[in-house]
Amino acid sequence: MVFQPVTPLSGYAGWRFLQRTLESQQSAFVQAQPVTRATDYFRKNIPQVRTADDLVNDRRLLSVALGAFGLDDDIKNKAFIRKILADGTIADDALSNRLADKRYQEFSRTFGFGDSPVPRTALSSFPDQIIARFEVRQFQRAVGEQNNDLRLALNVEQGLSDINSATKSQNAKWFSIMGNTPLRTVFQTALGLPTGLASIDLDQQLDVFKQKAKSTFGTDDIGEIASPANQEKLIRLFLVRTEAATISVSTGASTALTLLQASPRPLLLGAP
């Protein structure tokens, strides 16, 4: 039986409730049979995997591997994933280095098939490392089936941690956020930026994001924005603005319907 996360509230109130119950809910979720079946299989079989082909050709292993990085929807893109893994991340022209979404780069680097003669799957600590990520991401996915805004909020901590753990300049970190759809959605909404921003020059987008971050958080340093206090502020702004936009659309639609219902019936030519 699959455990369904409980999210009785939306918006920031829903986030506060989820934070209070997160430990118990996530514990119940990871102990459910579908999750334990997947993680037990991964723990037992991943140490024998030595190449990208080994991983891609085992759908059950690949499902956990992709799920640990929020890349579940790529399960059918075997050739693409094989290329991501086999290229590694060291060469400048490696596929993951050329993609805007840096989750692929983190995925490839973590498995290490293209970066070292011996992949990281040989490490004794590797199964638990991936399983821990998988359990968190799958819980987030389950939350998202009921409230995608809360799923996006739950993703913030791990997403920023992944970006900050890499050796990058501040601009590179911002480009990683801009290329990561879940994180970009949170930042763009929280900072009050228009959705049309994506249509302008990339360097101009960078300037806008950094300027708005500085006026909102007092800094454009991603390491500082990742502090617990600033993360909470980021999530609060995101959820409050998302809920306000939803209420505005709902109110506008309700008002329009009321006006239509109150309008007099149009006269028909020839009607008495």
Q: What CATH number does residue 125 fall under?
A: 1.10.3700.10
* pLDDT score of 271: 45
DSSP letters for 32-81? SHHHHHHHHHHHHHGGG--SHHHHHT-HHHHHHHHHTTT-GGGTT-HHHH
pLDDT at res. 272: 45
The domain boundary residue, chosen from 103, 130, 146? 146
Six token digits for residue 235 = 């999530």
Host domain of residue 80: 11-146
Within a domain: 258: no
Check residue 269 and give its pLDDT. 46
Cα–Cα distance for residue pair 90/146, rounded to 1 Å: 39
Is pLDDT of 14 > 70?
Answer: yes
Examine the domain organization and report whether 111 and 47 are in the same domain. Answer: yes
Residues 71 and 141 both lie in one domain: yes
Among 33-42, 122-131, 149-158, 240-249, which is the least confidently predicted range? 240-249
Among residues 33, 44, 35, which one has the least CA distance to residue 140?
A: 35
Domain for residue 162, yes or no? no
Percent of the chain whose predicted confidence (pLDDT) is above 90: 84
Whether residue 209 lies inside any domain: the answer is: yes
Residues 141 and 184 in one domain: no
Enter the tokens of residue 111.
């498995």
Same domain, 114 and 223: no
Is the separation of the CB atoms in 138 and 124 below 8 Å?
no
Are 20 and 134 found together in one domain? yes
Return the SS3 of 162: helix
Q: How far apart are CA 255 and CA 262, in angstroms?
A: 11
CB neighbours (10 Å) of residue 222?
20
Residues 27 and 73 in one domain: yes
Number of folded domains that form the chain: 2
pLDDT tens per residue across span 104-138? 999 999 999 999 999 999 999 999 999 999 999 99
Domain assignment present for 256: no
Residue 267 has pLDDT above 50, yes or no: no
Q: Please indicate, yes or no, whether residues 245 and 181 belong to a single structural domain of this protein.
A: yes
Which range is least confidently modeled, 42-51, 104-113, 176-185, 262-271? 262-271
- Do both 30 and 131 map to the same domain? yes
pLDDT at 265 over 80: no
pLDDT score at 255 = 54
pLDDT at 195: 87
* pLDDT tens for each residue of 210-222: 999 999 999 999 9
Backbone angles phi, psi at 247, to 5 degrees: -65, -40
* Statement to judge: residues 32 and 103 lie in one domain: yes
In a domain, 160, yes or no: no
Examine the domain organization and report whether 138 and 32 are in the same domain.
yes
What separation, in Å, do the N-terminal and C-terminal C-alpha atoms of the chain show?
A: 65
Is there a single domain that holds both residue 96 and residue 195? no
Distance between CA atoms of 178 and 170, rounded to whole angstroms? 12
Instruction: Say if residue 142 is in the same domain as residue 174.
Output: no
